[in-house]
């Protein structure tokens, strides 16, 4: 699982992982709504209702007026085919929900960038909604800061502004290959977030 605010590099690191080892593949989430369709399996509300009634939804969330969901059938199909699913998550509650639902050991990775890097990357790639991206960054920071003291939900904490995508991907792949399910040390998340605002920290 890759967790992180906008521009932290979830898509970029996923692509780099796939180039390192073609078993890695980003999970295609279900999307009900409008806007961007690339990278999603588009569905209507009735299909989502049917999947929900069948108990196939591992998790679902609503954002930007759209609903996004993870289908257990898609996960199982990837694993059965020898793939390594990469799942992108955007909140700690979603992470908890996902890990509880799948009842399997997943490597949980936090990809992080300071706020000023988020703004710079967003503007450089031509986003028209940079203020919304920064608001989402603020929400991600508040979400992580609300994690109870002593709880470490991640196995790896990586600043993607301090290394390139392939360097980051190599660290993730190494931890996965070594079955690196040891959680980051107590206080590691707080230490990372203490310098959250600026790349100078």
Percent of the chain residues past pLDDT 90, beyond the cut = 65
Given a cut of 60, whether residue 195 has pLDDT beyond it is yes
- pTM here is 0.86
Residues 40 and 88: beta-carbon distance below 8 Å? no
How far apart CA 21 and CA 49 sit, in angstroms, is: 35
Query: What is the pLDDT of the chain when averaged over all its residues?
Result: 89
Task: State mean pLDDT over 139-166.
Answer: 91
In which band, very low, low, confident or very high, does the pLDDT at 107 lie, cut at 50, 70 and 90? very high
User: Residue 61 has what pLDDT?
Assistant: 86
User: Residue 82 has what pLDDT?
Assistant: 95
Given a cut of 70, whether residue 200 has pLDDT beyond it is no
In which band, very low, low, confident or very high, does the pLDDT at 126 lie, cut at 50, 70 and 90? confident
Residues 153 and 95: beta-carbon distance below 8 Å? yes
User: Residue 180 has what pLDDT?
Assistant: 57
Domain 2-27+84-190 indexed as CATH 3.40.720.10: no
How far apart CA 48 and CA 180 sit, in angstroms, is: 34
């Amino acid at each position: 699982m890759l967790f992180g605010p906008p521009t932290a590099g979830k898509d970029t690191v996923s692509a780099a992982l796939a180039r390192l080892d073609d078993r890695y593949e980003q999970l295609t989430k279900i999307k009900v709504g409008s806007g961007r369709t690339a990278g999603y399996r588009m569905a209507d509300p009735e299909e989502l209702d049917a999947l929900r009634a069948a108990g196939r939804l591992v998790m679902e969330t609503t954002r930007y007026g759209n609903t996004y969901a993870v289908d257990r059938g898609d996960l199982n199909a990837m694993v059965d085919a020898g793939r390594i699913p990469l799942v992108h998550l955007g909140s700690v509650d979603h992470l908890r929900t996902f890990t509880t639902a799948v009842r399997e050991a997943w490597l949980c990775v936090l990809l992080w960038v300071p706020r000023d890097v988020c703004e710079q990357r967003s503007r450089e790639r031509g986003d028209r909604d940079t203020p919304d991206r920064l608001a989402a960054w603020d929400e991600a920071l508040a979400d992580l800061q609300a994690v109870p003291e002593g709880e470490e939900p991640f196995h790896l904490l990586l600043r993607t502004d301090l290394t390139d995508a392939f360097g980051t991907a190599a660290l993730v792949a190494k931890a996965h290959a070594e079955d690196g399910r040891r959680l980051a040390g107590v206080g590691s998340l707080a230490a990372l977030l203490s310098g959250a605002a600026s790349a100078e920290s």
